[in-house]
A and B are shown apart, each in its own frame.
Chain A
Amino acid sequence: MAHLTFKKGVHPPSHKSFTERRPIERMPVGDALSVPLTQHLGVPATPVVRKGDRVEVGDLLGDASKLISARIHSPAAGTVKRIVDQPLPGGKLAQYVEITVDREATEQHTFSETDVDLGAITREQILETMRTAGVVGMGGATFPTDVKFSPMPDKSFDVLVINGAECEPYLTCDHRVMVEETEALMDGCRLLHKTYGFKAIYIAIEANKPDAINAFEDVVAVYSDLPIKVASLTTKYPQGAEKTLIRTVTGRIIPTGKLPLDVGAVVCNVQTLFAIYEAVHFGKPVIERVVTVSGAGIESPKNIRAMIGTPLDRLVEYCGGITESVNKVVAGGPMTGMALPTLDYSVSKGSSGFLFLTNADVEIESPCIKCGRCVAVCPMNLMPLKLAAFSRAGRFSEAQRLAVNSCFECGSCSFVCPAKINIVAYVRHAKHHIRVHGSREDKR
């Protein structure tokens, strides 16, 4: 079978064999949760509970205060212990609702089928369900899904791309969800198709997940009412990046500075689709997700269905602990994830994985030898070596002229750089400066 692909990109070692054949395990209910109220792009949720309040499974902890925000629900029954400020991965402070869990009540709670007439469900109902359930993009970007699926009056989309590429090394959570929840995902596609009437739905999966591709191929015939195709993609990083993915499967090119919507496409991550399915069928808010816990530094790597707010040290404990040789902990994938200073973090809606790396070096930068490898791999066809040089020199208007804001920080350039220059870090610096000060105020 010919696989679809994009131009350029890199081939990092996959490291997926740690967990790709491990079925998802549901983690036992723990004693405590620490649920951040910032788990999405946009305005943080406003707390609606207070210290000492009793909460049940699915109760609202934080409400969406503005249009671009998302509701946060309690994954467990219990008591609000306190609300504290703690850092998110990356260092920004956020409010965390700490819950002392009532294990018995939590274990007894189940979500039952809703009485929604699935045959007559409307677009407004689906959007309202997404909003109520606090669904956000679970591939990591965490953009509120109801906003994504509400096109401006003058725009519309006719193509849906389900993103199951999972091109980041180590991560296998989406892979396992695709294999184990194939029909739920197809039902999710049907829901969206009924309300949006897509011309085409693509399920995009990298070729290194043949079991997931086969699982969908096997059931596509059953869903003959859907214009659905399984798109098998070459295994190459960053295959799952939104802009290049849309071009790869639909041929449409998103102009610089525009959104998928501008070319009539919408991309939805596998676990986001699963969350939509659960919200509509069971009225279940986003209170858990599948995370991959992996790396050479964890005793038994796993794919875990964990409650939002599960403390990282509990995940580690459940996976048998970390080895003494661990010297780097990463939230997310190794190409775009964030390094964590301690284990004092918890699972959030965007947590695709936690990695425990054992021989992470601190690379010392040497002079750029203009080899052009970064240019040869940049999926956005940028000039990474120039962006880094201009950023370092404080010439931000030059960086902007070279479309620094088109960079989505996939890390391919830093990955291949023989001089070990962290080009992505320089790019972030330039983007930040332009965002805060504008490009005209170049450093002199």
Chain B
Amino acid sequence: MSAKVGGFVLTSSPHIFGKTSTPRIMMTVMVALAPAVVMSMAYFGVRVALLYALSATVAMATEAVTKMARQQDWRSIGDGSAALTGVLLVMTLPPSISPLLVALASAFSIFIGKEVFGGLGANIFNPALVGRAFLSAAYPVAMTQYSPPRSLFAFLGQSPDAVSQATPLAAARFEGITTSWMDLFFGQVGGSIGETSTAALLIGGVILLWFRVINWRLVVAYLGTVFVLVGIAHLTDPDQYPPALFHLLSGGLVLAAFFMVTDMVTSPDTDLGVVILGVGAGLIVITIRLFGGFPEGVMYSILLMNAATPIINRYTDTRPFGSIPQKGQ
């Protein structure tokens, strides 16, 4: 018999654990973003690769500095959430955005969007979108100039032209111009860095759904609400409102549906809660896109519904087993 008779680890049950961990989840999201990131570099040049790196670095540095100032463990940046925020932020910005603004927005995302609330898990608003909202308010001109994508095979060339081009949504809304379906699906259109290639985003979305990182009910509720209501609008007045599929494929809707509205920290905790969030956000998108002053409404739809998440959580607790008194028997 072994001489070892004590000094065992003493913890409360359970004694075995699943393999999931926060860094692993963040890594999965990064992997799911990869196709869209690659496509964005193809369309908008290697310049955006530098923007991604810059934004992720600033995000992590901001978190580390904030943690140190609060005398907490700065090594939390290793969980990957700050880097992920940095990458997502860049995906929502116009291709011609200056590196300085990217760095500024990235620091804003992490500091105001996340750390002042208490860091990971405690923030109310999606940090990347907080950064984007900041730029939209402070630098409206830079945030509405969309340089056109280059042809897929010229992505090693020079930096994008400063010539601005209307995004498909703006073109449809203000000029009545439609964009080809193929261009919309593969992303050969004007728009924010990471939002244009629906095909690449779908691949990422499938990865997230497959590994159950995101709740399919939220994706369906969000996209479904937009699709159905815009479809009704299109049927009632096809001249004024573009087809429902056009709205799904254009702008940041697909990016947001898989990577932003589904952010676990800022979305509700239950299946019922996320459906309410998704429908609510979908309604806001439609309201802004069809009746508002902006061509795009995805960012506000998520930020506004993020604000509603705590109250949704308050009223959508699951019903404990046995809490319904049983009839008969």
Q: Do A and B come from one complex?
A: yes
A interface residues with partner B (beta carbon < 8 Å) = 10, 12-13, 169, 243-244, 247, 252-258, 263-264, 313, 316-317, 321-324, 326-330, 334-343, 355, 357, 360-363, 366-373, 375, 378-383, 385-386, 402-403, 406, 409, 411, 414-420, 422, 424-425, 428
Give B22's nearest chain A residue, CB to CB.
A418
Cα–Cα distance between A367 and B329 once the two chains are bound (Å): 45
Cα–Cα distance between A313 and B2 once the two chains are bound (Å): 10
Chain B residues with CB below 8 A from A340, complex form: 8, 10
Q: A244-B321, A252-B329, A406-B322 are contacts. A369–B25 as well, Cβ < 8 Å? A: yes
The 6 closest A-B CB pairs, nearest first, are: A411-B14, A367-B121, A403-B320, A321-B1, A371-B264, A425-B12
Chain A residues with CB below 8 A from B17, complex form: 361, 363, 414-415, 417, 420
Residue contact B16 to A335, C-beta cutoff 8 Å: yes
Cα–Cα distance between A337 and B11 once the two chains are bound (Å): 10
Residue contact B322 to A428, C-beta cutoff 8 Å: no
Give the shortest distance, in Å, between A409 (CB) and chain B (any CB): 7
Residue contact B321 to A243, C-beta cutoff 8 Å: yes
Check B18 for interface membership: any CB of A closer than 8 A.
yes
- Contacting residue for B20 out of A263, A342, A370, A418, CB 8 A: A418
Chain B residues with CB below 8 A from A420, complex form: 17, 21
Residue contact A313 to B21, C-beta cutoff 8 Å: no
Chain A residues with CB below 8 A from B18, complex form: 10, 12, 415-416
Sample of 11 A–B contacts (CB below 8 Å): A256-B320, A324-B4, A336-B13, A337-B15, A357-B16, A360-B9, A367-B121, A368-B121, A381-B321, A419-B21, A428-B12
Quick one: which of B154-212 are within 8 Å of A by CB? none
Residue contact B6 to A341, C-beta cutoff 8 Å: yes
Give the shortest distance, in Å, between A325 (CB) and chain B (any CB): 9
Give the shortest distance, in Å, between B273 (CB) and chain A (any CB): 9
Q: A316-B1, A367-B122 are contacts. A258–B322 as well, Cβ < 8 Å? A: yes
Chain B residues with CB below 8 A from A253, complex form: 321-322, 324, 326
- Contacting residue for B325 out of A255, A382, A424, CB 8 A: A255
Residue contact B329 to A375, C-beta cutoff 8 Å: no
Give A312's nearest chain B residue, CB to CB.
B5
Residue contact B269 to A370, C-beta cutoff 8 Å: yes
Residue contact A323 to B2, C-beta cutoff 8 Å: yes
Give the shortest distance, in Å, between A236 (CB) and chain B (any CB): 14
Chain A residues with CB below 8 A from B323, complex form: 255-256, 403
Cα–Cα distance between A336 and B13 once the two chains are bound (Å): 5
Residue contact A371 to B25, C-beta cutoff 8 Å: yes
- What sequence of 0s and 1s flags, for each residue 1-44 of chain B, a beta carbon within 8 Å of any chain A beta carbon? 11011101111111111101110110000000000000000000
Residue contact B120 to A327, C-beta cutoff 8 Å: no
Chain A residues with CB below 8 A from B319, complex form: 381
- What sequence of 0s and 1s flags, for each residue 107-127 of chain B, a beta carbon within 8 Å of any chain A beta carbon? 000000000000111100000
Give the shortest distance, in Å, between B4 (CB) and chain A (any CB): 6
Chain A residues with CB below 8 A from B269, complex form: 370, 372, 375, 383, 385-386
Cα–Cα distance between A12 and B13 once the two chains are bound (Å): 14
- Contacting residue for A342 out of B6, B12, B14, B324, CB 8 A: B6
Residue contact B326 to A367, C-beta cutoff 8 Å: no
Chain B residues with CB below 8 A from A355, complex form: 15
Chain A residues with CB below 8 A from B329, complex form: 252, 263-264
- What sequence of 0s and 1s flags, for each residue 261-301 of chain B, a beta carbon within 8 Å of any chain A beta carbon? 00011010110000000000000000000000000000000
Check B98 for interface membership: any CB of A closer than 8 A.
no
Chain B residues with CB below 8 A from A243, complex form: 321-322
Residue contact B15 to A328, C-beta cutoff 8 Å: yes
Q: A253-B326, A313-B1, A382-B318 are contacts. A362–B9 as well, Cβ < 8 Å? A: yes
Give the shortest distance, in Å, between B267 (CB) and chain A (any CB): 8
Residue contact B320 to A418, C-beta cutoff 8 Å: no
Residue contact A411 to B13, C-beta cutoff 8 Å: yes
Give the shortest distance, in Å, between A58 (CB) and chain B (any CB): 30
Residue contact A341 to B8, C-beta cutoff 8 Å: yes
Check B66 for interface membership: any CB of A closer than 8 A.
no
Give A339's nearest chain B residue, CB to CB.
B10
Residue contact A414 to B121, C-beta cutoff 8 Å: no
- Contacting residue for A339 out of B15, B24, B122, B317, CB 8 A: B15
Residue contact A342 to B326, C-beta cutoff 8 Å: no
Check B144 for interface membership: any CB of A closer than 8 A.
no
Give B21's nearest chain A residue, CB to CB.
A418
Check B57 for interface membership: any CB of A closer than 8 A.
no
Cα–Cα distance between A381 and B90 once the two chains are bound (Å): 39
Chain A residues with CB below 8 A from B215, complex form: 372
Give B16's nearest chain A residue, CB to CB.
A334
Give the shortest distance, in Å, between A95 (CB) and chain B (any CB): 23
Give A328's nearest chain B residue, CB to CB.
B9
Give the shortest distance, in Å, between B316 (CB) and chain A (any CB): 10
Residue contact B318 to A383, C-beta cutoff 8 Å: yes
Further pairs besides A322-B4, A340-B10, A360-B9: 4, Cβ < 8 Å: A253-B321, A334-B13, A342-B5, A425-B12
Residue contact B5 to A339, C-beta cutoff 8 Å: no
Give the shortest distance, in Å, between A425 (CB) and chain B (any CB): 4
Chain A residues with CB below 8 A from B324, complex form: 253, 255
Give the shortest distance, in Å, between B215 (CB) and chain A (any CB): 7
Residue contact A369 to B317, C-beta cutoff 8 Å: no
Residue contact B15 to A424, C-beta cutoff 8 Å: no
Residue contact A342 to B320, C-beta cutoff 8 Å: no
Residue contact B22 to A381, C-beta cutoff 8 Å: no
Cα–Cα distance between A264 and B269 once the two chains are bound (Å): 35
Cα–Cα distance between A441 and B14 once the two chains are bound (Å): 29
Cα–Cα distance between A145 and B324 once the two chains are bound (Å): 29
Most buried by A among B13, B16, B121, B317: B13
Give B81's nearest chain A residue, CB to CB.
A369
Chain B residues with CB below 8 A from A383, complex form: 269-270, 317-318
Give the shortest distance, in Å, between A331 (CB) and chain B (any CB): 10
Give the shortest distance, in Å, between B306 (CB) and chain A (any CB): 12
Chain A residues with CB below 8 A from B11, complex form: 328, 339, 360, 362-363, 422
Cα–Cα distance between A444 and B119 once the two chains are bound (Å): 24
Chain B residues with CB below 8 A from A336, complex form: 13-14
Chain A residues with CB below 8 A from B15, complex form: 328, 330, 334-335, 337, 339, 355, 357, 360
Give the shortest distance, in Å, between A91 (CB) and chain B (any CB): 10
Chain B residues with CB below 8 A from A357, complex form: 15-16
Residue contact B16 to A415, C-beta cutoff 8 Å: yes
